A = this chain, B = another copy of it.
């Protein structure tokens, strides 16, 4: 039965997260231990400690691993509140790529793998990365171009290939690697300290929020034992979907919070800054931008809740997840762009957080599949089912 109310647990939790973010995290946002490639590890651990003492660490993983075991809808509410600060999700250990990796490990990994990889990750003792994207001519928007090979060798695999834009690789304890085996695309777990892994360089990027930044990784005869295959060999692309549908959505949740922050900054600015005889906000040109922000965020939130609910039902959410990704990455970007514009000169400086949020969300329009890929998936689906439609034009 259609219902948009939060449970009282959700309301309480949302309030706790809001309070935590505003009181504990916002004062730390200008901490100098942040650079173009994310927060330093000591800063991250301090943030994690704050979240842990607030009982808000890794809320998406099961209690068994130290989390709150939230379902997707509750995550939607909590992650939006966490995202109100760009360092909120890092503090609460629910940022990408770790959050998606935890989710996938919880679903697919063996008990042994969970114990070794998931447990310390959930506690914030380690970080992880997901090594799928490759430089041209390898796997980008089109995963079928996958070039990295995992050749069977004795009771294990030998992996060779290059990955790039691998978020968080620098400083990660382990990687989930997508490689081509004779069974097809396969996911494998490897310690990052293994001799065959080399971080070639850290990319300079428009965003700066991910711990460790984005790296180029090279695998040279990297040996991975057979027990480190994640799930069944050849099922890599299927698992990637298992990871991606919710991972895309949690991106949406966090960035909705960030856009809300930018909007709050912009509307407070608009309510006070004078120009041409009244406040900026009393100018309809600015007021309409604020209204459009509200409209965009409202639609993003509803699309997120809907997709999260589908995931909680165990329903296939491929199409809803594609829709949420397009709606949110484009809608929240418009919000951030308007906030820059409202702030005027201030908006293009790092004196305001809005500038950073703008850059982060620009990158989000690319990550986890650009809009173009999702639009094409939606188009094919719209074209498939026309046989059942009533006749007539």
Residues of chain A whose beta carbon lies under 8 Å from any beta carbon of chain B: 1-7, 22, 26, 29, 73, 133, 136-137, 140-142, 144-145, 164-165, 203-207, 214, 263-265, 267-276, 279, 281-288, 290-295, 298-299, 302-303, 305-306, 308-310, 313, 323, 326-327, 340-341, 343-355, 358-359, 362-363, 365-367, 370-372, 374-383, 386, 389-390, 392-393
Q: Nearest Cβ distance between residue A317 and chain B, in whole angstroms? A: 11
Q: Is the CB of A344 within 8 A of B323?
A: no
Q: Is the CB of A350 within 8 A of B302?
A: no
In the assembled complex, the Cα of A284 lies from the Cα of B281 at a distance in Å of: 11
In the assembled complex, the Cα of A273 lies from the Cα of B140 at a distance in Å of: 10
Note all chain B residues with C-beta closer than 8 A to A349: 165, 203-206, 214
Asked whether A136 and B288 contact (CB < 8 A) given A4-B306, A302-B299, A327-B299, the answer is: no
Q: Which residue of B lies closest to A30 (CB)?
A: B392
Question: Could you name 16 residue pairs across A and B whose Cβ atoms are closer than 8 Å?
Answer: A3-B3, A141-B275, A142-B275, A205-B349, A206-B355, A264-B390, A267-B383, A267-B386, A267-B389, A291-B376, A291-B377, A291-B378, A299-B303, A341-B366, A348-B362, A348-B366
Q: Which residue of B lies closest to A140 (CB)?
A: B344
Q: Which residue of B lies closest to A381 (CB)?
A: B294
Q: Which residue of B lies closest to A22 (CB)?
A: B390
Q: Nearest Cβ distance between residue A111 and chain B, in whole angstroms? A: 32
In the assembled complex, the Cα of A273 lies from the Cα of B370 at a distance in Å of: 15
Q: Nearest Cβ distance between residue A117 and chain B, in whole angstroms? A: 26
Note all chain B residues with C-beta closer than 8 A to A371: 341
Q: Is the CB of A265 within 8 A of B392?
A: yes
Note all chain B residues with C-beta closer than 8 A to A383: 267, 270-271, 279, 281-282, 287, 290
Note all chain B residues with C-beta closer than 8 A to A302: 299, 302-303, 306
Asked whether A345 and B323 contact (CB < 8 A) given A142-B276, A283-B284, the answer is: no
In the assembled complex, the Cα of A294 lies from the Cα of B323 at a distance in Å of: 8
In the assembled complex, the Cα of A3 lies from the Cα of B7 at a distance in Å of: 11
In the assembled complex, the Cα of A339 lies from the Cα of B304 at a distance in Å of: 27
Note all chain B residues with C-beta closer than 8 A to A380: 287
Partner of A285, one of B345, B376, B390: B376
Partner of A376, one of B141, B284, B305: B284
Note all chain B residues with C-beta closer than 8 A to A4: 2, 305-306, 309-310
Note all chain B residues with C-beta closer than 8 A to A291: 326, 374-379, 382
